[in-house]
Chains A and B, each alone.
Chain A
Amino acid sequence: ELLRLQRQRLGSAWPVRGQTEGEPLDVYDIVISGGGMVGTAMACSLGFDPHLQGRKILLLEAGPKKQMDKAPEVFSTRVSSISPGSATLLSGLGAWDHIVKLRCKPYQKMQVWDACSDALITFDKENLQDEMAYVVENDVIVAALTKQLQTLSDQVEVQYRTRVVKYTWPRPYQVADSIPWVQVTLASGQTLQTKLLIGADGPNSMVRREAGIPTVKWNYDQSAVVAVLHLSEPTENNVAWQRFLPTGPIAMLPLSDTESSLVWSTSHQHAELLLQMDEESFVDAINSAFWSNENQSELVEAAGSLFRTALTILMPNGTSTRQLPPSVAGIGPKSRVMFPLGMGHASEYIRHRVALIGDAAHRVHPLAGQGANLGFGDVASLTQVLSQAAFNGKDLGKSMQHLLEYETDRQRHNLPMMAAIDLMKRLYSTNAAPMVLLRTLGLQATNALPPIKEQIIAYASK
């Protein structure tokens, strides 16, 4: 009777012959812990994969189901810059159509410049027709993926408002009657078993912590202030702006013709100050951060303009004129928020029967807008690896062979990116003249060399 009820309630999961008397535990092939952007994308990706049909897949999410029939009036402050590579993945999952219908803003150009000098670098694709990236609210992405996940209800089971309280790890070798699977204990008291556990539970990942995977991490002593900005006048708004101030980068990403998203990374004290200011002062601070030239030293200016002249002779097309971002008139209601910034990298992405994806594996500074993209890259790589393993009849969690392939592939991609972002952050965190000079000349030189810029764009677009 108990068996029958269990089976009915839990749908298609099969019970295991009793380890404990009369209480069947469900053995899943894959359990994904964490239903954010990356976790939900992973669930969709596995659900759609032809070689994984018939496998028991479960997504566990502590929060409620996020549904959205149309985009809300007010823009959300949490947005991501989605690269073309991520857009391709989302498109393959059928979620991109929903995103476009809900709300998304493509931009064709990005200008990055220094507060301490005149150096700047602009990124754009050959002809301004191609999009460089898309600014999408995180909620929109999750809602779109959730909608697609609903079409996969036969392949993927989802449990919302479900919190995990404990993970129990199996031994890597068979010992008599011990259970070889990962055991997941939920707040409700129910225990599940799975052959592979995918940790998509964010920067403070419980999976990573409980598995004892060491993490290299540090806090930047910075917080990010995010807000939705109302522009002074409507504009084509297809450029992303980022200026490196001595206290940290301030970025403006387009949301629509009249609104943009602010991400201002600065010290904790300054961030708190910004949050407490009245709206007018806050708006003034933003405009001044983008427009004022008070941080420039004469030495650097002189050296900079000399170098620029030289470049103009050598590479006539290599210099760009500095444009100014649109001015800000106001901010969205109740939209000022701050959160602390840090960097983290798990030294291993995998263990026996465990794999980490997204922020659980790597946490980056938002200055390059790459966080979500790295996560989506993980999804693509891990799906591919698991698909091939399933087609070869492998036990998905056991073989360190295919999981190792995933780890190597992603670390090779993620580490250089993270190192570059971290380097940028450190390089631009000072207004000591030598560093400023170095980065000024470096930036100008990079701007003048299309091949390098193209490489950067290509790498970030994956």
Chain B
Amino acid sequence: MLSRRSAQLAYRLLTSTSTYRPALQPRLPVQQSGRLISHSTVDPAEVRKFQALASKWWDERGEFGALHAMNDLRVPFIRDNLLSVHSARQMGSPLSGLRVLDVGCGGGLLTEPLARLGADVLGIDPVQDSVRIAELHLSHDPALCGRVRYRACSLEELADEDEQEEEGFHAVVASEVLEHLADLETFIQCCHHVLKPGGSLFVTTINRTQMSYILGIIAAEQVLRIVPRGTHDWEKFISPVELETLLESTGFSVECIRGMLYNPVSGAWSWQQSTAINYALHALKRREEPQSDRVESESEDEAASRSTA
């Protein structure tokens, strides 16, 4: 039985003609409580959701099984795109010498593989319990201990402190994060801030389409239980076009976008042409100021954002 809210959403879905929203606004009002420091990108309701699941992170056949499987796509995606910008320093450690920030690292599912490839990784997550699980899992592996650090904080806190850091990161990874945020624009700005010029931003997230509602919410959460119920809020999903626009206007140039598909029968992910459900995106922080008239032979969005800058 569909709840009333779902029914409303479904109605809107069926009558909507396009998924493009020209103007972006923060999706939820910024919540500030006495106990939390104001980090407006973090949604406390989301924090509570993940707190409850903290101990399940490393069970490959548990609630986070699909995320474990997603490493088969996102690790090569990050690795290959970074290698095309920075050539490999050492065989066996293709990412050695690179500093990577894993935002919303959770239990460290993506942090550890990146560190195994030689990168120095800082994993941050606002959920204290997740960070503790991540640190515990890490502690058994001496080879990784030297290359991974975890912190329970938000990206904004890190960006604020960053004034003291001389260098930025070579790459920022925000995988399965954007769809859980309270304030996307600020988040993207913080990503821009902590990156070195020419640094890479990697995003994997979910598109806001009819397909993603049917497969991502109804099928995945309610019917097949691939992700726990309530994990995702369809309203927060963002389309690649919107994301690209936002990124381009914040000083990024989007290098590539690829669609991803999850097969619940085999439990495996694969690349696909269509970005209707899940997709991955790679963007570079432009070396000049965002408002420069850098000549690019690309889309009209580029021209549009340039002219409005």
Q: Is B123 in the interface zone, CB < 8 Å from A?
A: no
Q: Among A52-60, A118-126, A134-142, A227-235, which stretch is in contact with chain B?
A: A52-60
Q: B71: which of A174, A177, A392 is its contact (CB, 8 Å)?
A: A392
B113 in contact with A51 (CB, 8 Å):
no
Q: Interface-forming stretch among B1-9, B139-147, B165-173, B231-239?
A: B139-147
A325→B145 CA distance, assembly (Å):
65
- Judging by beta carbons under 8 Å apart, are A392 and B142 in contact? no
B59 and A173 form a contact (CB under 8 A): yes
A27 touches B92 (CB 8 A): no
- What is the minimal beta-carbon distance from A177 to any residue of chain B, in angstroms? 8
Q: Once bound together, how far apart are the Cα atoms of A173 and B62, in whole Å? A: 10
**Stretch from A11-19, A37-45, A63-71 forming part of the interface with B:** A11-19
- A458 located at the interface, meaning its Cβ lies under 8 Å from any Cβ of chain B in the complex: no
**Cβ contacts under 8 Å, A52 to chain B:** 92
Roughly how many angstroms separate A55 CA and B144 CA in the complex, as a whole number? 12
**A395: Cβ under 8 A from any B Cβ:** yes
In the complex, whether B91 has a CB less than 8 A from a CB of chain A is yes
Smallest beta-carbon distance A387→chain B, Å: 10
Specify which of A56, A179, A394 is in contact with B113 (CB 8 Å cutoff).
A394
Assess the B143–A14 pair: CB atoms within 8 A. yes
A449 to chain B, nearest CB (A): 40
- Contact of A393 with B75 in the complex, beta carbons under 8 Å: yes
Asked whether B58 is an interface residue with its Cβ less than 8 Å from the other chain, the reply is yes
Would you call A114 an interface residue if the criterion is a C-beta within 8 Å of the partner chain's C-beta atoms?
Answer: no
CB of A85 closer than 8 Å to a CB of B? no
Q: Which one of A15, A54, A180 contacts B142 once the chains associate, using CB atoms below 8 Å?
A: A15
**Contact A55 to B112, CB < 8 A, known contacts A17-B139, A179-B140:** no
Which residues of B68-101 have CB atoms within 8 Å of chain A's CB atoms? 71-72, 75-76, 79, 90-94
| Size bin of chain A's contact surface | 20 to 34
Determine whether B114 belongs to the interface, using a CB cutoff of 8 Å to chain A.
yes
A51 touches B91 (CB 8 A): yes
Instruction: Return the chain B residue nearest A177 by Cβ.
Output: B136
**Is B117 an interface residue when CB atoms closer than 8 A count as contact?**
yes
Contact, CB under 8 Å: A390 / B114: no
Instruction: Give Cα distance in the complex from A111 to B244, angstroms.
Output: 70
Instruction: Give A22-46 interface residues, CB cut-off 8 Å to B.
Output: 27, 29
Identity of the chain B residue whose Cβ is nearest the Cβ of A170 in the assembled complex: B140
Residues of A within 8 A of B115 (CB): 393
Task: Give chain A's interface secondary structure class.
Answer: loop
Nearest B residue to A179 by beta-carbon distance? B140
Q: Contacts A173-B59, A393-B116; is A16 near B140 (CB within 8 Å)?
A: yes
Is B92 a contact of A50 with CB atoms below 8 Å?
Answer: yes
Complex contact B59–A393 (CB within 8 A): no
Say yes or no for B151: interface residue by CB 8 A criterion.
no
* Distance A390 CA – B118 CA, assembled complex (angstroms): 11
Decide: B94 and A391 in contact? CB cutoff 8 A. Answer: yes
| Chain A residue contacts of B113, Cβ below 8 A | 392-394
Within the complex, what minimum Cβ distance (angstroms) separates B180 from chain A? 24
Chain A residue contacts of B92, Cβ below 8 A: 50-55, 390
**Given known A53-B90, A53-B92, contact A393–B71 (CB-CB < 8 A):** yes
Minimum Cβ distance to chain B for residue A179 (Å): 6
> Residue B137 at the A interface, CB < 8 A?
yes
Whether B72 lies near A180 (C-beta < 8 A) is no
Residues of A within 8 A of B140 (CB): 16, 27, 179-181
Q: Which residue of A lies closest to B115 (CB)?
A: A393
A393-408 contact mask (Cβ, 8 Å, vs B): 1 or 0? 1110011010000000
User: Per-residue CB proximity of B104-128 to A under 8 Å, as 1/0?
Assistant: 0000000011111110000000000
In the complex, what's the smallest C-beta–C-beta distance from A400 to chain B, in angstroms?
8
Q: Note all chain B residues with C-beta closer than 8 A to A390.
A: 92, 116
Measured between alpha carbons, how far is A382 from B143 in the docked complex, in Å? 23
Q: Chain A residue with minimal CB distance to B117?
A: A393
* Contact in complex: B142, A17 (CB < 8 Å): yes
Is the CB–CB distance between A54 and B114 below 8 Å? no
Residues of chain A within 8 A of B59, CB atoms compared? 173-174
In the complex, A124 Cα to B307 Cα: how many Å?
76
Docked complex Cα distance between A401 and B60 (Å): 11
**Shortest Cβ gap from A232 to chain B (Å):** 55
> Judging by beta carbons under 8 Å apart, are B142 and A174 in contact?
no
- Point out the residue from B75, B93, B141 that lies within 8 Å of A392, measured CB to CB: B75
Question: CA separation between A344 and B125, bound complex, in Å?
Answer: 51
Q: How far is the CA of A393 from the CA of B79 in the complex (A)?
A: 9
A16 and B91 form a contact (CB under 8 A): no
Question: Smallest Cβ distance from A19 to chain B, in angstroms?
Answer: 9
Measured between C-beta atoms, what is the minimum distance from B143 to chain A in Å? 6
Interchain CB contact (< 8 A) of A395 among B72, B112, B139: B112
| Known contacts A17-B142, A54-B92: A392-B112 contact under CB 8 Å | no
Q: A174 near B116 (CB under 8 angstroms)?
A: no
Given A14-B142, A395-B112, A54:B58 Cβ within 8 A: no
A401 to B58, CA, bound (A): 15
Given A54-B93, A55-B92, A173-B58, A393 contacting B139 (CB threshold 8 A) = no
Residues in B neighbouring A392, C-beta threshold 8 A: 71-72, 75-76, 79, 113
Cβ contact within 8 Å between B143 and A29: yes
Closest to A173 in B: B59
Q: How far is the CB of B36 from chain A (nearest CB, A)?
A: 30
Shortest Cβ distance from A178 into B: residue: B140
Contact in complex: B75, A16 (CB < 8 Å): no
C-alpha spacing A1/B33, complex, angstroms:
52
- B-contacting residues, A123-151, CB 8 Å: none
Interchain CA distance A56-B72 in the complex, whole Å:
24
Interface string of B184-221 (1 = CB under 8 A from A): 00000000000000000000000000000000000000
Q: Give Cα A15 to B71, complex, Å.
A: 28
Q: B76 — nearest CB in chain A belongs to which residue? A: A392
- Which residues of B are in contact with A by a Cβ distance under 8 Å? 58-60, 71-72, 75-76, 79, 90-94, 112-118, 136-137, 139-143, 145
Question: A50-B92, A395-B112 are known contacts; what are 5 more A-B pairs with Cβ within 8 Å?
Answer: A17-B139, A29-B143, A51-B91, A174-B59, A390-B92
Q: What would 13 A/B residue contacts be, using CB atoms closer than 8 Å?
A: A16-B142, A54-B93, A173-B58, A174-B59, A195-B141, A391-B117, A392-B71, A393-B79, A393-B112, A393-B116, A394-B71, A394-B113, A395-B116
Interface, chain A (partner B; CB < 8 A): 14-17, 27, 29, 50-56, 173-174, 177, 179-181, 195, 390-395, 398-399, 401
